[in-house]
Chain A
Amino acid sequence: MITHVYALKEMRRRKYRTATNIAGFVIVVATLVALVTTARGWEAVTAAPLKEIGTDLIMIYSAPVVPSGYGCYIANHLFSYPFNQNNLVEMANVAGVDRAVPVLMHRMGAIVFTGIDPCETETNAVLPKNVVEGRYLAPDDGAVALVDREYARLNNLTVGSNVVYMEVEYEVVGLVNVDAANILESHIYVTLPVCQKALPEDSTGLANIALISVSDPRKVDEVSEELVSRWPRATPITASDLAATTSGVLTIGEETAWNISIALAVVAVLFTIRSQLAAVSERTREIGILKAIGWSRSDVVSQIFIESTLQGAIGGILGGAVGYGFAWYFLSTMGGFLAVDPVVLAAGFGIALISGVAAGIYPSWRAARLTPAEALRAV
């Protein structure tokens, strides 16, 4: 169709205007893609310590905790034993909570001693996948333990040998490799009842940590608020808490990223409308010629539409590429990983396209209502 040829040639003829219009759409889409992708990538990085143990939220009952560093830092801020196991059952019944797993951590000198429920194999301080030698704990285990591989190496411990904690001997049944990112990293793991019995205080039926797994990861904050409202002395730790404390980087939520992008899209539409109106004004005489030779209003409208929509589409494609470029740069400096999400790309492209169409409505209406005689009189 000649209208497409004409639209492309008009865009080339007005290079500066076309470039600035496209730049507006590029900024919108690049902002969206960069912010959303960076937010997601950063969230994935900060959530890693929690994901490592299959949880979304940790509730600890202690003085307010300021997490810092890696490894067993939680243990550095404990210990009272306020959760009895009935509390865990109540937590599991809170709306949005999938699972509430009890953990009891204790520290003596430099050694962290942790009791776990071996039945919980998806969310726990140590999981079967961490076992590198020997076996995982069983519910009816007595004085047996899993030992951190590095701790075992430093203390010449092997499967079958004994490890001592608070003057009690435990047979090592397995060595585990716990990622440093695991914020519950400990040296010795035993079953929860064995741990409760081993501690000097009367710890029977108590735990000091609840690992909460939620049914919808987007509702972690809601669940956290609900749990704190019911156990006001407990302190929640979520991925965003870790993000805020483990880095000085200001992180923004995905919702904020969308809002910023939509606000920018509105600005880009207004800018493009102004620019297209100027183009229509410059081309008044041409519009008159086209009408004189038989172009209808809809032909003229589609001409202006094609131009602004093309600009939106080009801006959408370029903006996606630029946005991913920025996201890659931000995430690489933060140690995160870039994940290309076709939905974000499609949404960015869609916003640019819709903005392009929206920007064409008023100018094309103005062009269409010109009478041919009026338009031809224009200088």
Chain B
Amino acid sequence: MNVIEAQNLSRIYRLKNGGEVKAVDNVNLLVPEGQFLTIIGASGSGKTTLLNLLGGLDKPTAGRIVVEGVDLSDLGEEALVRFRRKKVGFVFQAFNLIPTLTAVENVEAALAPTGMPKAERFERSMSLLELVGLKGQVDRLPVALSAGEQQRVAIARAFANEPQVLLLDEPTGNLDTVTGKEIMRLCHKASKERGQTVVAVTHAGYVKEYTDRLLYMKDGKFSNTVPEGELEEPVS
């Protein structure tokens, strides 16, 4: 069963000078349940735009996206909010934690809109932080955490609502190789344990170890062949 289905998906940005940029150009994609898919490509190839479309953060110019049986093309603003809340979890390159909230409050922020009781919300956030190895640092602000620790908080937040789909946008982009591998291992292990489908966008060469399927993206389109040297090890 396919958890993600994208048909003829396009996202075109209109420029002020009348021109246009095809960030995603007529893409078709099927991702079966539980698959760990990695998309690689140069900067500006449309990877993040595709991820935003799959996560309901952006709307396609043309085409259709179905995630977990939900056709995103037909959803209004409020339905998209519910979709993002329940169905997908995001991990960003820049961690994107709220700087004024502690680690546990950042995880709680994802649970707050669900109406979950405070005690239950706190308990779940604590157990997720324990899962990512941050049990002793739950009360720290992001600024007091290392880059790897911040990304762990972001992963815990992405898991908070037990989404079926995880979308990882350059999750190791700001990390050294050792930490990056730890983060990928963590994402891989946790997602496999939960049977989650993962779409990751990355440059890191070590993703091969964790990936079920690798796609290469260039100029908004897919290719099944990864060019030589495209997957590079990041500088440690």
Contacts A294-B114, A373-B52, A376-B92 given; does A286 touch B84 at CB 8 Å: no
Contacts A290-B109, A294-B110, A294-B113 given; does A373 touch B57 at CB 8 Å: yes
Q: Are B81 and A9 in contact (CB under 8 A)?
A: no
Contacts A6-B101, A286-B98, A376-B96 given; does A293 touch B108 at CB 8 Å: no
Q: Is the interface of B mostly helix, strand, loop or mixed?
A: helix
A260 at the interface (CB under 8 A from B): no
Chain B residues within an 8 Å CB radius of A3: 112
Chain A residues within an 8 Å CB radius of B78: 296-297
Q: Are A292 and B90 in contact (CB under 8 A)?
A: yes
CA distance A376 to B97 in the complex (A): 12
B residues 76-91 touching A (CB-CB < 8 Å) = 77-78, 81-82, 84-86, 90
Q: How many Å from the CB of A265 to the closest CB on chain B?
A: 29
Q: How many Å from the CB of A5 to the closest CB on chain B?
A: 6
Report the nearest B residue to A374, measured CB to CB.
B58
Chain B residues within an 8 Å CB radius of A90: none
Chain A residues within an 8 Å CB radius of B97: 289
Chain A residues within an 8 Å CB radius of B118: 1
B55 at the interface (CB under 8 A from A): yes
CA distance A49 to B129 in the complex (A): 75
Contacts A1-B112, A5-B101, A376-B96 given; does A293 touch B157 at CB 8 Å: yes
Q: Are A9 and B100 in contact (CB under 8 A)?
A: yes
Q: Are B105 and A5 in contact (CB under 8 A)?
A: yes
Q: Are B98 and A292 in contact (CB under 8 A)?
A: no
Q: How many Å from the CB of B175 to the closest CB on chain A?
A: 19
Q: Are A294 and B101 in contact (CB under 8 A)?
A: no
Q: Are B108 and A2 in contact (CB under 8 A)?
A: yes
Q: Are B109 and A6 in contact (CB under 8 A)?
A: yes
A residues 1-42 touching B (CB-CB < 8 Å) = 1-3, 5-6, 9-10, 12-13
Q: Are A2 and B105 in contact (CB under 8 A)?
A: yes
B164 at the interface (CB under 8 A from A): no
Chain B residues within an 8 Å CB radius of A289: 92, 96-98
Chain B residues within an 8 Å CB radius of A9: 100-101
Contacts A6-B101, A13-B100, A376-B92 given; does A293 touch B109 at CB 8 Å: yes
The listed residue (A12, A286, A373) touching B58 by CB distance below 8 A is A373
Q: Are A292 and B57 in contact (CB under 8 A)?
A: yes
Q: How many Å from the CB of B222 to the closest CB on chain A?
A: 21
Q: Are A295 and B52 in contact (CB under 8 A)?
A: no
Chain A residues within an 8 Å CB radius of B82: 294
Chain B residues within an 8 Å CB radius of A1: 112, 118
CA distance A372 to B96 in the complex (A): 13
Q: How many Å from the CB of A294 to the closest CB on chain B?
A: 3
CA distance A286 to B95 in the complex (A): 11
Q: How many Å from the CB of B141 to the closest CB on chain A?
A: 9
The listed residue (B84, B99, B108) touching A294 by CB distance below 8 A is B84
Chain B residues within an 8 Å CB radius of A6: 98, 100-101, 105, 109
CA distance A135 to B160 in the complex (A): 89
B161 at the interface (CB under 8 A from A): yes
CA distance A285 to B92 in the complex (A): 12
Chain A residues within an 8 Å CB radius of B77: 297
A141 at the interface (CB under 8 A from B): no
Report the nearest B residue to A372, measured CB to CB.
B57
Chain B residues within an 8 Å CB radius of A285: 96
Report the nearest A residue to B86, measured CB to CB.
A294
Report the nearest B residue to A5, measured CB to CB.
B105
Report the nearest A residue to B160, measured CB to CB.
A293
CA distance A3 to B84 in the complex (A): 19
Q: Provide a sorted-by-A list of 15 A–B residue pairs whose CB atoms are within 8 angstroms.
A: A2-B109, A5-B105, A13-B99, A289-B92, A289-B97, A291-B81, A292-B90, A294-B86, A294-B114, A296-B81, A296-B113, A372-B84, A373-B52, A373-B58, A376-B96
Given A9-B100, A291-B57; 13 other pairs, CB 8 A cutoff: A3-B112, A9-B101, A289-B97, A292-B96, A294-B82, A294-B85, A296-B113, A299-B113, A372-B57, A372-B58, A373-B57, A376-B92, A376-B96
